[in-house]
Amino acid sequence: MSRSPVRRRPSPIRAPRSLTVLASAALLVPLLSVAPPAGADAPGSGVLQVEFARAASRHGVPESVLLAVSYLQSRWDAHGGAPSVAGGYGPMHLTDAVTARARTVPHHVEGEEDARGDSSRPSHRGADVPASGAGRPPERLRTLERASRLSGLPAEELRTSTAANIEGGAALLAAAQREAGLPASADPADWYGAVARYSGADDTATATAYANDVFDVIRVGASRTTDSGRSVTLPADPSIVPATGQLEALGLRKPASGPVECPATVACEWVPAPYEQFGDGDYGNHDQADRPVSQSIDYIVIHDTEADWRTTLDLVQDPTYVSWQYSLRSSDGHVAQHLPLRDVGWHAGNWFVNAKSVGLEHEGFLTSPDSWYTEAMYRASARLVRYLAARFDIPLDRQHVLGHDNVPGPTASSVRSMHTDPGPYWDWAHYFRLLGRLIAPSAGPRADVVTIRPDYGVHRPVYTDCATAGLPCAPHGSGAVRLHTLPSADAPLVKDVGLRPGGQESTTGVNDTGARASTGQSFAVAERRDDWTAIWYLGQRAWFHDPAAEPTSVNARGTVLTPRAGLSEVPVYGRAYPEASAYPAGVPVQALSPLPYVLPAGQRYVVGGRTSGEYYFAPTFETDGHTVVRGQEEYYQIQFGHRIGFVKAADVQVFRT
């Protein structure tokens, strides 16, 4: 049975452990201040702190509560007045979804990518995208209009003025305290219920998780310089014990029951993706399995939804669409689980990765740099990933916690259709800090391996094509560095022959991953010259600006490989499939199809792991005929370009640096 075009987004899926990401810090740590962005108004750096103090005093809200709520929403950033994906404006994330709502192009909508990624079966063709935005948004997406009524400030001023936005947030908190019948206490501990209400959640689990996070921020403290260059500090109050009993009086619903697999520290509900047969061997939207008994789970894949929350849930509940394990809501970090972890979702466009991964979809838009991810969502995601990593023994590093944009095409023909989310605006350094894994140096100067780590706040490379083809995107922090053919910003960008078989140069387009290295990825050093570092990347020498005064990488140790003696080059694969002799009768042999890249002699690439060739044969709705084929052929996973790749162990020699 044929289906409509595959859902794809222009942007939405043992071995030596990598030592390039070091363990340190707890999940909740104070963030260090960073230098203000270029052109910031440094003399006014204390003004924002004063605005918080003034609004807190005027509305009788403890300043620490107001600061912590704002930190959890926006980390005190104003985002240039642009709304988040949830329609939230300013440091207090006051929501106005009607005004903010824009085009929605979900995962797997454009092009020919098959999210299932198994070339042995007909491509999965997904359903049409449901209409987004019909009807009045829920109350949690309309807090700005209420803040306007409470504060007397015009809605437009609340959207565009940082001071007014803070004032509106303080008014909402004060109103929540009054409505709970509680006095405007000077003790922050007495505001637990008001903070839970501020989250906008209508269930106890989400409201509790949100309030707990706010009071963790108060307990630990925080300090940073915002996107407008203004410094804010919240002193730690380690002795605070919030009045958690206030939650009962809010009358919130209990979350939907179901077989959720989440840590107790996140709010998680069961919103199942359907498993439905259509006839003639055609079914959707995932495959049943028995992981990790049948296969190990080795990867966690980070996506963004390219859709609002309601559209995301509508799509994953459509049996003719595709599926993933978890969705995370931007406004409050709420989590919905859609598949049992034992089953295989169709999300990464590479069947080998799908069969061995868990997919997390985060409400957001890649090409809208200021449709920002909230701190609440980052923290919920980090807690979920820590839980998954501990449960399945997945290393917390960038070789195993992948962006969808790091997943390789399974075959040469699929390279150009692979997705590019979550893109250059996902803050990997902050995310790994929340994971308890600081991306820090693990070797001394002049090491043979570097790990990419620009300062997200001040590193603002120009990208294009976010809103209009050829035009620059809004200036924004980025965790990715641009790669040149020579040590000069004027030199051409390196080429990606998989994306452009004709040999054209890579571009600065926000969806062009051909000349981009991302925070946490590790590469072997090819050369150093003045303020520039060259790495081996896609079979070529690639240079990035890395000045000592403002480095964009850290020195690291690692395991690297190179072609074994006597080989001029070795092929690179997008999947680690078994040799032909390993397939039993009745299971079609999968071709060992190399990608359009080679790894030349003399070049080195960082190893992320070693795995035996493996293929999950799942051609039918019923699981009786499902088979895991394992071979003798072994592979190394490497960081080959922006995406990972695989090379045969027999083709290479491996050594530590």
CATH code for the domain in which residue 80 is found: 1.10.530
- Report the amino acid identity of residue 174: A
Asked if 499 contacts 512 with a C-beta cutoff of 8 angstroms, the reply is yes
Of the candidates 200, 468, 180, the one whose C-alpha atom is nearest the C-alpha of residue 309 is 200
Give the Å distances, CA to CA, from 30 to 68, 232, 266, 333, 567.
12, 12, 20, 20, 50
Residue at which a domain ends, from 217, 250, 283 = 250
> Hey, what are 350's tokens?
């590479």
Say what the pLDDT of residue 127 is. 54
CA-to-CA distance for 657 and 654, rounded, in angstroms?
10
In this structure, the strands spanning 299-304 and 357-362 are parallel
Q: 94 pairs with which residues across the strands?
A: 89
Residue 50 placed within a domain: yes
> Hey, what are 107's tokens?
């995962």
Residue 479 placed within a domain: no
**Contacts for 325 with CB less than 8 Å, ≥ 6 apart:** 337, 338, 339, 341, 345, 358, 359, 360
Residue 79 placed within a domain: yes
pTM: 0.90
- 3-state SS, one letter per residue, for 236-269: CCCCCCCCHHHHHHHCCECCCCCCCCCCCCCCEE
Structural domain for 206, as ranges: 42-101+137-250
Say what the pLDDT of residue 431 is. 98
Residue at which a domain ends, from 204, 229, 250 = 250
* Helices (H) then strands (E): counts for the chain: 12, 28
Tally of domains in the chain: 2
Residue 507 placed within a domain: no
Residue 510 placed within a domain: no
Residue 153 placed within a domain: yes
Query: For each successive 10 residues of the chain (657 residues), what is the average pLDDT?
Result: 32 35 33 32 67 98 98 94 91 89 49 69 57 69 95 96 98 96 96 96 93 97 93 97 94 84 95 87 88 97 93 93 95 96 96 98 88 91 98 98 98 95 96 97 95 95 94 94 98 98 95 98 98 98 97 97 98 98 96 96 98 95 91 98 98 96
Residue 436 placed within a domain: no
CA-to-CA distance for 623 and 607, rounded, in angstroms?
34
Q: 534 pairs with which residues across the strands?
A: 527, 543
Residue 373 placed within a domain: no
Residue at which a domain ends, from 230, 250, 270 = 250
CA-to-CA distance for 516 and 169, rounded, in angstroms?
39
Say what the pLDDT of residue 130 is. 54
